[in-house]
């Protein structure tokens, strides 16, 4: 979380495993310091964007694709922390999930990256990273 | 090499395993279990009991009873299987330790002293919710993969193949007009490719599926099919690698089976001592259907094991 003194700004390390509702507010954390209350000659105008956790939309889409691929019941709890292996995805399922994500988001996932995705959150984070590269 | 075929034996007292001799070089052992046949709660408890605390935790974390059961049986199968070979008197299913090599491939971590050297035993596991299998060799890397014959994939077979398989393999699949046959050939090809990557032990990214082709050597158009009633040897399966011409792809041999009438099983093992121009030394395969601590049945040569290719 951000903490600041009059002359310096510091952020303590931010953990990346946010629940969905926290992620959205974090995404919008743009801090500007050229406003009232801060002597503008001391502090430069700074904008910070904490881009750590993927958007809830992305996570939800991943959940949807995973549930479909593994034929999980609608009421089954799947969230960012869910591990593919624990949900019962074998290697063929995982490859199909990656393919589904590529189609949904219009991205291409390298084998090295695909191998490192073990949870829904990791998949969502990778998607966002690839989408950012595209722009 | 004599086949070791054991009569059905039922043990109701303290858990014991029928010992087996290690496979000879060029011999592969395959052990499999069907989760649906393991119904006894007390037996499942015995299996849970031989797992390491870490394995137990992983098993119990699986989402759903069916997944927990097949995860449990996979670990129980590998532990009991290796223990059967009675490498030394100290080894029990529970005492075995495992670790992963630098690429993440599981291997046995032998506890040994200065005057004892463990054999070069290799193993590999694969499981679906309906079948759990463990392959064992000596002196030879091994990779196995099992899939339900009737497994369906969510994507179109050719779209999937275009994304992940090599061009040659896409052409092979595209040439099959019957969608059912195409799907089954796809599943066979998938198991073969998985088995190869698992044998290499470098993980999915170590040998991306697009960078190698697996094909049937003698009768390419027929794909991976049984030569019905033929006196010819079943066609050989080979792998060509594009990325690494230096990788000796002639070092690997493949076996494709239909197991228990329900699954395709692909086995990939290292060939040793083969030189250019040598005839392929046939792989000897012995298959057991087992319920560890309860019964073992040698099923080689029965209907439960049908060779499709490679033997």
Residue B8 token pair: 């059905």
CA distance B215 to B239: 6
Residue A25 token pair: 């507010």
Note whether B205 contacts A87, CB cutoff 8 Å.
Answer: no
Whether residue B133 is contained in a domain is answered as yes
Residue A81 has pLDDT above 80, yes or no: yes
Q: Which residues contact B18 (CB under 8 A, 6 or more apart)?
A: B6, B9, B84, B296
Do A110 and A71 fall within a single domain? yes
> Which residue in A69, A91, A97 has the most chain B C-beta atoms within 10 A of its own C-beta, making it the best mutation to test that interface?
A91
Do A20 and A60 fall within a single domain? no
pLDDT band at A102 (very low <50, low <70, confident <90, very high): very high
* Count of residues making up chain A: 135
pLDDT band at A115 (very low <50, low <70, confident <90, very high): confident
Q: Find out whether A2 and A48 touch, Cβ atoms under 8 Å.
A: yes
In this prediction, residue B203 carries a pLDDT of 78
CA distance A82 to B188: 30
Whether residue B18 is contained in a domain is answered as no
Q: Which of B209, B219, B212, B276 is closest to B247 using CA atoms? A: B212
Do A27 and A68 fall within a single domain? no
Do A122 and A72 fall within a single domain? yes
Total of domains in chain A: 2
Whether residue B221 is contained in a domain is answered as yes
Do A40 and A65 fall within a single domain? no
Do A87 and A48 fall within a single domain? no
Total of domains in chain B: 1
Which H or E run includes B249?
Answer: none
Q: Print the domain residue range for B85.
A: 27-309
Do A25 and A65 fall within a single domain? no
Rounded to 5°, the CA angle A85-B34-B201 comes to 45
Note whether A96 contacts B153, CB cutoff 8 Å.
Answer: yes
In this prediction, residue B87 carries a pLDDT of 83
10-residue stretch averages of pLDDT, chain B, 311 residues long: 43 67 93 97 97 96 93 97 90 93 89 79 95 96 96 94 94 95 96 94 83 80 59 66 64 93 95 57 87 95 90 61
CA distance A58 to A126: 10
CATH of the domain at B36: 3.90.470.20
Whether residue B303 is contained in a domain is answered as yes
Q: Print the domain residue range for A125.
A: 56-134
- Average pLDDT of A80-105? 93
Q: What ipTM describes this predicted complex?
A: 0.83
In this prediction, residue B288 carries a pLDDT of 97
What is the distance in angstroms between the Cα of A56 and the nearest Cα belonging to chain B?
Answer: 23
Predicted TM-score (pTM) of the model is 0.81
Of A13, A31, A52, the position where a domain reaches its end is: A52
Question: Which residues in chain A have Cβ-Cβ distances shorter than 8 Å to B61?
Answer: 86
In this predicted model, what pLDDT tens digit does every residue of A39-68 receive, in sequence order? 545 545 555 545 556 788 999 999 999 999
Whether chain A has a CB inside 8 Å of the CB on B68: the answer is no
Do A11 and A69 fall within a single domain? no
> Higher model confidence: residue B244 or residue A120?
A120
CATH of the domain at A93: 1.10.1200.10
Residue A45 token pair: 């105008």
Do A47 and A66 fall within a single domain? no
Which residue of the set A57, A90, A93, A125 is catalytic? A90
Note whether A115 contacts B63, CB cutoff 8 Å.
Answer: no
Q: Find out whether B99 and B107 touch, Cβ atoms under 8 Å.
A: yes
Do A10 and A43 fall within a single domain? yes
Whether chain B has a CB inside 8 Å of the CB on A126: the answer is no
In this predicted model, what pLDDT tens digit does every residue of A21-43 receive, in sequence order? 444 444 444 444 444 554 545 54
In this prediction, residue A20 carries a pLDDT of 40
* Count of residues making up chain B: 311
In this prediction, residue A14 carries a pLDDT of 41
In chain B, the residue whose alpha carbon lies closest to the alpha carbon of A114 is B205
- Cβ–Cβ pairs < 8 A, chains A and B: 45
CA distance B133 to A113: 28
Within 13 Å and on the Cβ side, how many CA atoms surround B133?
A: 29
pLDDT band at A11 (very low <50, low <70, confident <90, very high): very low
B residues 107..126 contacting A (CB < 8 A): none
Do A64 and A127 fall within a single domain? yes
In this prediction, residue A105 carries a pLDDT of 93
Do A79 and A63 fall within a single domain? yes
**Going edge to edge, which strands form the sheet with B252-259?**
B142-148, B263-270, B252-259, B305-309
SS3 content of chain A, % helix, strand, coil (to 5): 45, 10, 45
């Amino acid at each position: 979380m951000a903490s600041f003194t009059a002359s310096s700004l510091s952020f303590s390390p931010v953990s990346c495993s946010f629940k969905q509702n926290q992620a959205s507010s974090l995404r919008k954390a743009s801090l500007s310091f050229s406003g009232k209350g801060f002597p503008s000659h001391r502090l430069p105008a700074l904008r910070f964007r904490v881009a750590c956790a993927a958007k809830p939309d992305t996570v939800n889409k991943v959940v949807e694709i995973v549930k479909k691929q593994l034929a999980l019941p609608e009421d089954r709890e799947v969230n960012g922390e869910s591990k593919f292996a624990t949900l019962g995805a074998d290697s063929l399922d995982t490859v199909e999930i990656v393919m589904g994500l590529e189609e949904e988001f219009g991205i291409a996932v390298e084998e090295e990256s695909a191998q490192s995705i073990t949870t829904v959150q990791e998949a969502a984070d990778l998607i966002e990273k690839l989408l950012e590269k595209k722009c | 090499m004599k086949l070791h075929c054991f009569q059905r034996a039922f043990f109701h007292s303290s858990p014991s395993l029928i010992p087996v001799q290690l496979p000879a070089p060029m011999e592969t052992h395959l052990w499999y279990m069907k989760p649906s046949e393991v119904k006894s709660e007390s037996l499942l408890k015995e299996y849970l009991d031989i797992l390491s605390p870490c394995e137990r935790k992983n098993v119990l974390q699986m989402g759903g009873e069916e997944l927990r059961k097949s995860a449990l049986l996979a670990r129980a199968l590998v532990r009991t299987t290796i223990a059967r070979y009675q490498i030394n008197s100290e080894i029990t299913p529970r005492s075995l330790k495992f670790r992963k090599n630098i690429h993440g491939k599981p291997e046995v971590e032998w506890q040994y002293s200065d005057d004892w050297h463990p054999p070069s035993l290799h193993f590999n596991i694969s499981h679906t919710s309906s079948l759990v299998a463990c392959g064992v060799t000596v002196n030879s890397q091994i990779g196995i993969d099992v899939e339900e014959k009737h497994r369906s994939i969510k994507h179109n077979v050719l779209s999937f193949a275009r994304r992940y398989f090599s061009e040659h393999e896409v052409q092979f699949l595209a040439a099959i007009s019957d969608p059912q046959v195409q799907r089954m050939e796809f599943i066979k090809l998938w198991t073969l490719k998985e088995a190869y990557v698992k044998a290499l032990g470098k993980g999915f990214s170590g040998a991306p599926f697009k960078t190698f082709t697996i094909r049937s050597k003698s009768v390419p158009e027929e794909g991976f099919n049984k030569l019905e009633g033929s006196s010819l040897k079943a066609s050989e399966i080979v792998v060509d690698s594009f990325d690494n011409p230096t990788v000796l792809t002639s070092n690997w041999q493949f076996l494709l089976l239909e197991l228990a009438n329900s699954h395709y099983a692909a086995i990939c093992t290292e060939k040793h001592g083969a030189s250019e121009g040598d005839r392929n030394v046939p792989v000897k395969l012995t298959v057991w259907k087992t319920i560890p601590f309860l019964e073992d049945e040698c099923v080689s040569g029965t209907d439960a094991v049908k060779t499709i290719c490679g033997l």
